[in-house]
Structure 1
């Protein structure tokens, strides 16, 4: 059973997982960037199971080192959603049917000349959808924007259950 969470992200992604960890008597810490995740693995001091959460859309250059480490040091599970924003969009909390259509075939919507990465696209899409819903517009640095996603109902029933996290966290 997972007892620790390490996030690549030190902003809203970390805030979300930290809220989850607190409510489930777990420890959550952030690596403060993708290049620091490997350091957190090497510095592990106990035998608990740790879930590492990284944005798949941005983590490619670090993946090989991380996989080598977690295959040689027991007690790690790697979770790589497309991005944290993708995870929030996939939960359908905002009840925008067009979003689920986009998530099924994102390559038909993402114009690479406009967006540096898919993560950038999903961040912009989430920002647009929250503005349309008249909730606090999503922003990576705005903790208020994450509040609607961290209610008990939305966190567990929507976000955790709509992703592979339900199998990893066994809530």
Structure 2
């Protein structure tokens, strides 16, 4: 499934109106904020299509998944938006993560816990905010980068240390930039190691660069940790490949449309994370050219002054040179 899909579910007293943009949407929040009510209303509308007290409007079928037979239920669901309420322990398992990556559904998961087995975006974590008698989804982590307080963006950031989550091309690019500017740059070999590093290091001006498309499970504990640490900043591009495409270095007639509305082009069954999609697009658009891109080893052309400048210009407020 691809595209954005609006869901409107309502009774005479309550109404939820929101748009699903990616294959995984997380709804968080404390008790009594309307999370379970939303799922219950979806369930009622789906199970009682005739004479139901709940109206459900969506261009895709909706389904509520729960219980120990989740796999058998899910095997019969296709091209649908699947809602899962908190309390279903299977959402934490590797088995669930692997299974849904073979499906063409979108998933809306209610949980107060992080789900490290799932690569979900920081931009698709929501809370439910009630206004009058209507409820709507409101993004919690909807900023492109996250620095424990919006005021910090008014000034440029000059880090002493730059951290990346892996050692692939993105790290190689930023390592080169940092070497030129005598800034320490380290790869932490996995997003889960970022919290441990930040928790054990003080008195450093640190910039953390991670793929926002898959960092959702780490976002809460990292932002809680650095809330009062003004020397730490987080930059959250979709991925390094997305940043390259955004820079204008690659010329392609379709590129503007893809970057403007990526959901219209990303088939969830083929690219479970948007990071995978942007990697595939960059590789395809540069193959057999001097810009030929690979994930593991960065083509040296991306380290030339002109290309480096074009990419760095897309990173606002952060000064690495």
TM-score greater than 0.5 by the shorter chain: yes
Q: Is 1:70 matched with 2:223?
A: no
- For 1:120, the equivalent position in structure 2 comes to 276
Query: Which has the higher Rg, Structure 1 or Structure 2?
Result: 2
Q: Which has the higher helix share?
A: 1
Could you list the runs of 4 or more consecutive aligned residues of structure 1 that deviate by over 3 angstroms after TM superposition? none
**Cα RMSD, aligned residues only:** 1.6
Question: Between Structure 1 and Structure 2, how many residues are aligned?
Answer: 164
What are structure 1's unaligned runs of at least 5 residues?
none
- For 1:140, the equivalent position in structure 2 comes to 295
Under a length normalisation based on structure 1, what TM-score does the superposition of the two structures give?
Answer: 0.89
What are structure 2's unaligned runs of at least 5 residues?
1-157
Question: Residue 291 of structure 2 contacts residue 302 of structure 2 at CA under 8 Å; is this kept in 1?
Answer: no
Aligned with residue 159 of structure 1, among 311, 314, 317: 311
CA distance in 2, matches of 1:12, 1:28: 13
CA distance in 2, matches of 1:105, 1:19: 31
CA distance in 2, matches of 1:25, 1:41: 21
CA distance in 2, matches of 1:48, 1:62: 21
- For 2:242, the equivalent position in structure 1 comes to 86
> For the structure 1 residues 84 and 170, does the alpha-carbon distance in structure 2 shift closer, same or farther, using more than 3 Å as the test?
closer
Under a length normalisation based on structure 2, what TM-score does the superposition of the two structures give?
Answer: 0.49
CA distance in 2, matches of 1:36, 1:109: 32
Q: Which has the higher strand share?
A: 2
* Higher RCO (C-alpha under 8 Å, 6+ residues apart): 1
CA distance in 2, matches of 1:150, 1:97: 24
Equivalent position SS for 2:161? strand
